[in-house]
Amino acid sequence: MAIEGPLRELGIHDVFQLLDLSRKTGRLRVTSALRDNEGTVQFRAGRVVAATIRSNPHPIGQILLQAGKITEAELEQARAIQQQPGESRRLTDILVGTGALTQREIERQMRRQIEAVVFELMSWQEGFFSFVEGEVDESAADGSTALSAESLLMEAARRIDEWTRIAQLVPDLSVTPALAEIDGDHAPMLDLRPNEWEVLSAIDGHTDLRSIAVVVGVSDFDVARIVYGLVSTGIVVLRSSPRWSNGSSPRDDALILLSDARQALNEGRSRDALTAAERALAVAPDLADGHVIAAHALDALERFNEAEEHLRRVSELRSDTGGPFMTLASRAVRRGHLTRAIEYWERAIRAAPNSSDATRAREALDHATRLHALVEVGSDG
């Protein structure tokens, strides 16, 4: 059984509850075009046994190294053993075998790895999810580290409460942190953990929090929490990102929906694309890209008249480009309306006479004129 849809219709928390209650086994994929990111969570009988995310893959060896549980030499030794002919053990099993750390510590760190990915995904408000039933990847999943979806949801709820407190100083991840001007005579004493120093060293006054999280390799939640502490102590100040205003405006929501629509269209999910595009246009009817995506989705669904109406709206919003007129002309030709196609080609030339669209329109008009002449000759005979 496949379950899929936009996160705006069924939130990730609800998806986890559904898979937990139905004791599903399989792979959940969550994608976000806005973040250019995707994550995968593997379930076995409703319990989470593995999780990865593209922006921060959380390799267990690196996690153990950063946490100070193993040394660089111990990690390299384990990797060398893993490369030996006939060696099939996982890196964690080798580390336990060499005495670098205990099985209990391995399990604790692997749970932290799963939690970091899951909590990151649970913060996403937009995007798409898709769950496909089937056996999990045994090389990535470990039954001893399986986590109940219920416990993850409870911890996520606690984090949401903490997000509310953090948001008082850090409204969202689009803000850009910068180092505050410090009075040399009253400079604060810094007592930071290694991951806090990493975040602080990545603050340059130009990079927003979401990008810092990717560079440093921490979750959105962790980077927001660290920066909250740095702002509270006066070490860092926040600037609004030029891309977004403080808080989410209706147009921001429309752009997120448009991102969802574009991704759905690229993945061949025409109905989802149309739904998201129509919701974006309901908020911001002047979004030309929304009309373009809606038109393509309607065309795929063979609702041609509605598609043409959206493209006409695009031509009104983008009077300086011939692209929409070329699309309208192609549709007219496919439906046998040559006279209407000629009208659209002429409008494409007038809209952008020096563009490649105008060149193609002139060629099409030339062919249409020859075809018309042939038809006239045939009728005279």
pLDDT at 30: 92
Structure tokens at 110: 């692997």
Q: Characterize 155-194 residue by residue with b for buried, 16 or more Cβ atoms within 10 angstroms of its Cβ, and e for exposed.
A: ebeebeeebeebeebbbbbbbbbeeeeeeeeeeeeeeeee
Secondary structure (3-state) at 200: helix
Best CA proximity match to 332, nearest among 319, 345, 323: 345
Domain boundaries, the chain: 2-160, 167-239, 318-381
**pLDDT mean values, one per 10 residues, the chain (381 residues):** 79 90 92 79 92 75 76 88 87 88 84 83 84 79 75 82 83 85 64 84 87 76 89 86 47 74 82 86 81 84 80 73 74 76 81 79 83 61 53
pLDDT at 246: 40
Instruction: Give yes or no for a contact between 50 and 140, defined as CB atoms under 8 angstroms apart.
Output: yes
pTM of the model: 0.53
Structure tokens at 241: 């990102």
Torsion of CA 370, 374, 379, 381, to 10 degrees: 140
For residues 120 and 110, what is the distance between their CA atoms, to the nearest angstrom?
A: 16
pLDDT at 19: 92
Structure tokens at 111: 């749970």
pLDDT at 178: 92
Q: What DSSP string runs through 291-315? A: HHHHHHHHHHTT-HHHHHHHHHHHH
Best CA proximity match to 208, nearest among 160, 174, 158: 174
pLDDT at 25: 92
Secondary structure (3-state) at 33: coil
Condensed to tens digits (0 to 9), the pLDDT of residues 42-88 reads 999 999 998 888 876 667 777 787 667 888 888 889 889 988 998 88
Structure tokens at 17: 């509850």
